Every structure is written in structure tokens, then in C-alpha cells.
Amino acid sequence: MQASFEAQPLSQVRLRWHKALLFAAAFLFGAALPHSADAQAPTFDLVLRNARIIDGSGKPAYRADVAIRGDTIARIASTITDPAVRIIDVGSHVVAPGFIDVHNHGRVGIFRLPTADNLVRQGVTTAIEGPDGSSPVPLAPFLQRLAALQKSINIGTFIGHGSVRERVMGGVNREALPEELGQMRALVEQGMKDGAFGLSSGLIYVPGKFAPTSELVELAKVVGRLGGHYQSHIRDEGGRIIEAVQEAIAIGEQAGVPTQITHHKAVAQPNWGKSVDTLRLISAARARGIDVTIDQYPYASTGASFPTYIPGWAQEGGLEATRSRLKDADLRAKIKTHTSRILRLGAARGDLTKVVLAQCTWDKTLAGKTLADIVRLRGSTVTVENGAEAVFWIIEQGACEAVTRDSLSEPDIERILKHPATMVASDGNIPGPIGDIVSGVPHPRSYGTFPRVLSYYVRERKVLKLEEAVHKMTSFPARRLGLNDRGAIREGMKADIVVFDPARVRDTATLDDPKQYPEGISIVTVNGEIVFENGAMTAVRPGRVLYGSAAGSKSKP
């Protein structure tokens, strides 16, 4: 005899508990297991029946059943009738690998909300931290804390170039001395051996922007030797975007390391259309054998932090040093000229209503206000110069994150998304539960990135086929990270799975009301356990820390 539970609606109960019940029932009712309990054990823990499998490879969808045992996809067949602890008929919905977010800022948020609801509810099962040159240094204590945390998703990290440089040199604006470069090399190597997937850089931020290309080449070499890749927020995404893309390619070529241009975009109206040239450069480099890839978030509005409105020389030494420069009348005037120029010619194009405060840690009521609102609140008329003064005031108070609305063009977004070297990543974070005011009014990418690609760019705009889009969210990023056991629906792979209705999946997060979860996603499993079902997070926390290929290897003498 065979026993199985058909489509149990109990979402909060652990599979293990089901299994215990099954054994108890079999025992009490005299089922044939006098010698061995194993003889009666269900073959599988979970079977997803009537799946439309999109396996992540980009190949067409096909019908099958998927069986999971432990944390692994154990069997895929047209019909699976073996006993299972739980069988769910997914009613021809898509069964795809869980999405892998290769650029995520959830370092703080994962400890506040270890269920990472905003990611899981999008179908994300793995997030990679340490982007834009910023990570803990050293990584080991952070990774140990993460490993000890009971969490719903898998998480890994980069080692950040800016953080490494800061550790060795502070915030100075100069080239590294040979011994400093040696120390940075050692820290990057240690980061890789602690488990980083590669080196990230943020070359618009202090201190990353003070580093010459040669420094990045030297550090990227270390990463390449240890099987990692280089992911860069490039030096300029506006007027000098072409040169910045050329630099990222050159770093990959000279260091012999796979290189990735992260959240690729052409910012500010005069630069719209430049993705034609950047993609041409990238395609040409790939044709020469340089392993260049791209990631992208699917929104026309960008995120920014206020120090990026200040010239690099005025940021040398960090925020405190910037504040003391602003107290010097001559320096303040000089900085104001530059900041006004950025407000006029940069992403906002002189329109202060486009810069919307997302989160100010020192005054939560400011979230949702525009830079124009801040100017008015300070009793001034709305001009670019007064906007610069408002930027200074914000920097003097503390720090703020902001969203700059409509700073990108849809044709660029679609062109980049279509490119075969492009994968999808959110650039978002883990802002906390809905209703939480601490996280302010964040960029909607934290809540909607992956469903937005599936609904708007696949279903409505038909920029990608569904299978292509899933590939860009799963197998492609998994390959980039060297994760050989994730990112595909295949026997033997880890059971990170998302089930969604391709006709209904959609993002609902908007710029004005970003804290809204997507629709059309019914089940998410991480390492074989259901973390999301029937519209709710479950009680299990099966997430793991994922480590790069050099993790645990011994230092070279």
C-alpha cells in the first residue's frame, strides 16, 4: 500500500512534521512495516504535479512532474506516482528555478528581516551582497553571523574594493603606494578565501573613485586567479559612459578575469541612446574572447545617495571632512558651483521635483518629499542653486537615499535587457516589513524587479520570451557565480524553486507606493522547503550562506 497526502493546504507546517504524522499513522493502523520503518517511508518529500517546467537553460517549457527529496530535485518525469509526504498539483503553472539576485544591498536588512519577504515574494531564493565596492572587511565575521542567522533565502557576498581601499588607505585621493597595493591584494585574497564570489567596485563613490584603472587591474587579477569575477558600478553612467564601459572591459581583459557591468544604464536625457554604443563595445569585446556580462534592473528611475552630488575632491576623507569643507565659505561656493551643475545637467535635469527622498535615517518624516519640497521647507524659492543648498543641508544633517525619477529611457532599458549578455538583478535591498516606517519610501526595485520583467517586459512589451527572461534570472547568474548546483530545474540540483502563473504574475510596487508585493507567485521553495505559499511566508528558515569557489583554500606563502 501507498500512502500520500494530496495537496494539503497546511502552509505553516513543516514537511518534517507531515512525515512524522505519516509514520505514526502507518504504525497505528498496522501498515506493513514490522522490520523497517524505511520500507514504508515516502519516496519523496514533495512532488509538484502538472508543472510547466521552464528549466532555466532558455529552452522551451515542457510538461512534467518534479519530485524533491531533502534539499534536492530528485526526479523529473512525465508522471510521478511514487508516495510522497506532500503532493501539490500546480495546475500547469510555471515551475522555474528560484531567482538569483546578483546585486543586492540587503546586508543590514537581512538581520532585521531574515525572511526577506520582499525578495522571497518575488521568487528570489538567492541574493548576493557586497555590491558597488562596499562590503565588510574582513568578510569572515560577517559570514559567520550570516551562517548563524535563521533565514529564508540563500545569501553570498562580494569583497568590496572601496572598503578594502578604505581599510588600507582611508579616504585619501591619491594612488596607492606599492606597499599599500600589496596590503589591498592580501585583503582581497583573504576575502576570496573567506568565500567571496569576486571583487565589486563602485567607481562613482569615495574612495573607489580615487583608484586608477591599474589598481583595479591588480586586484582583479587576484580574484581571477581564485575563480571569481569582477562586478563594477562603472566610473560614469552619464556623459562619460562610453569611456567607463571601456575601462570595465579593459580591467577584464588586462586582469584576465570575467567582468560584469552592473545595473547598466545611460543616465540623463542627453545620454539616452548611448546604450547602442555601449552594447556594441560589449559585443565586440565578447567576440574577442573577453568574458563581459551585464546586469540590469527594469526601471526608468534611478537610486542615488546625496554625497554623489558633491565633487570627489570635496569628499576626500569622508562625510565629516565634507561637512567641515562646507563650513569654509570659499570652499562652499566652489562646491556649490559643482553641485548646481550636477543638478542641472545630471539625472534630474534641473527639475528638483524629480529627486525624491527615499530614506533619511535622521528624520523619517522626510521620506517621500522631493528636493523642491526641502527647498520650500527651508523658506527658499525653488532654484537649482537653492537645490544645492538643500543638498548641503541634508549632508550636514546626516545622510539620505533618494530616487531620481525618469532619468532613464525605455528604449535603452529594452535594448540592454534584450542583449544576450544581460542578466536581471535588483540593486535593491531588504527594506523591512510592509508598514515599517524606518525604511521610508524605497525604490520599487526592492519589491518588483523580477515580476516586473516577467509581466511588463515579457507579457506586455514582448521584449523577451518567458524562457529567455527566466534564463537571465537563474542559470545565467548561477553560471556567473560558479554555482553549479543551483539555477536549473534538473535532477541533482538544489531545490530552489518558484511556481508562478505566467498569465497573472506582475509587480504592484510603484514609485509613490513601493511597498507592495507582487501577484501571481504561488510557491517558493529554498533548499527543498516551502518558504512561501498561499500568499504567506511559512515558518521554515532553510536559507544558507553560499560561498565562492576559493572558500576555505589555504593562503599561498
The H helix count followed by the E strand count for the chain is 18, 21
Stretch that binds Zn ion, among 228-236, 366-374, 391-399, 476-484 (CB under 5 A): 228-236
Query: Parallel, antiparallel, or unpaired for β 72-77 and 62-69?
Result: antiparallel
Quick note: the x/- pattern for Zn ion over 83-102, rule CB under 5 A, is: --------------------
**Shortest spacing between CB 446 and Zn ion, in angstroms:** 14
Question: Which residues lie closer than 8 Å to 334 by C-beta, 6 or more apart?
Answer: 314
The residue (of 233 and 354) whose beta carbon lies closer to Zn ion is 233
**Shortest spacing between CB 33 and Zn ion, in angstroms:** 57
Quick note: the x/- pattern for Zn ion over 353-392, rule CB under 5 A, is: ----------------------------------------
Q: Is 49 in the site for Zn ion (CB under 5 A)?
A: no
Please tell me the count of residues contacting Zn ion according to CB under 5 A.
Answer: 2
The residue (of 85 and 348) whose beta carbon lies closer to Zn ion is 348
Q: Is 132 in the site for Zn ion (CB under 5 A)?
A: yes
Whole-Å CA distances, 533 to 75, 163, 192, 370, 436 = 22, 39, 36, 38, 22
Nearest to 244 by CA among 225, 264, 229, 228: 264
Q: Which cell numbers hold the place of 484?
A: 553549479
The residue (of 227 and 239) whose beta carbon lies closer to Zn ion is 239
Query: Parallel, antiparallel, or unpaired for β 529-533 and 124-129?
Result: unpaired
Stretch that binds Zn ion, among 225-233, 418-426, 449-457, 481-489 (CB under 5 A): 225-233
Out of 233, 369, 405, 443, which residue is the one contacting Zn ion (CB under 5 A)?
Answer: 233
**Shortest spacing between CB 144 and Zn ion, in angstroms:** 26
Give the type of residue at 274: K
**Shortest spacing between CB 303 and Zn ion, in angstroms:** 8
**Shortest spacing between CB 114 and Zn ion, in angstroms:** 24
The residue (of 222 and 304) whose beta carbon lies closer to Zn ion is 304
**With 0-12 CB in 10 A as exposed, 13-18 as middle and 19+ as buried, what is 60?**
exposed
**Shortest spacing between CB 204 and Zn ion, in angstroms:** 8
End-to-end CA distance of the chain: 62
511 CA to centre of own chain: 19
The residue (of 233 and 515) whose beta carbon lies closer to Zn ion is 233
Q: Is 264 in the site for Zn ion (CB under 5 A)?
A: no
Read out DSSP for 344-412?
HHSTTTT-GGGEEEEEETT-GGGTT-BHHHHHHHTT----HHHHHHHHHHHHHH--EEEEETT-S-HHH
The residue (of 297 and 500) whose beta carbon lies closer to Zn ion is 297
Question: Taking CB under 5 A as the criterion, which residues in 306-325 touch Zn ion?
Answer: none
Whole-Å CA distances, 389 to 78, 317, 377, 381, 447 = 66, 21, 12, 11, 32
The residue (of 115 and 422) whose beta carbon lies closer to Zn ion is 422
The residue (of 130 and 543) whose beta carbon lies closer to Zn ion is 130
Stretch that binds Zn ion, among 135-143, 174-182, 227-235, 448-456 (CB under 5 A): 227-235
Per the DSSP assignment, residues forming a β-bridge with 261 are 232, 294
**Shortest spacing between CB 267 and Zn ion, in angstroms:** 11
Q: How many CB atoms lie within 10 A of CB 2?
A: 10
Stretch that binds Zn ion, among 125-133, 171-179, 445-453, 457-465 (CB under 5 A): 125-133
The residue (of 101 and 132) whose beta carbon lies closer to Zn ion is 132
Question: Which residues lie closer than 8 Å to 123 by C-beta, 6 or more apart?
Answer: 96, 98, 99, 450, 451, 473, 498, 500, 521, 524
CB 430 within 8 A of CB 110: yes
**Shortest spacing between CB 450 and Zn ion, in angstroms:** 18
**Shortest spacing between CB 247 and Zn ion, in angstroms:** 15
Nearest to 210 by CA among 178, 243, 162: 162
The residue (of 105 and 471) whose beta carbon lies closer to Zn ion is 105
Dist CA 202 CA 210 (whole Å): 10
Task: Tell me the residue nearest to Zn ion as measured from the CB.
Answer: 233
**Shortest spacing between CB 123 and Zn ion, in angstroms:** 23
The residue (of 261 and 355) whose beta carbon lies closer to Zn ion is 261
Please report, as ranges, the residues that interact with Zn ion according to CB under 5 A: 132, 233
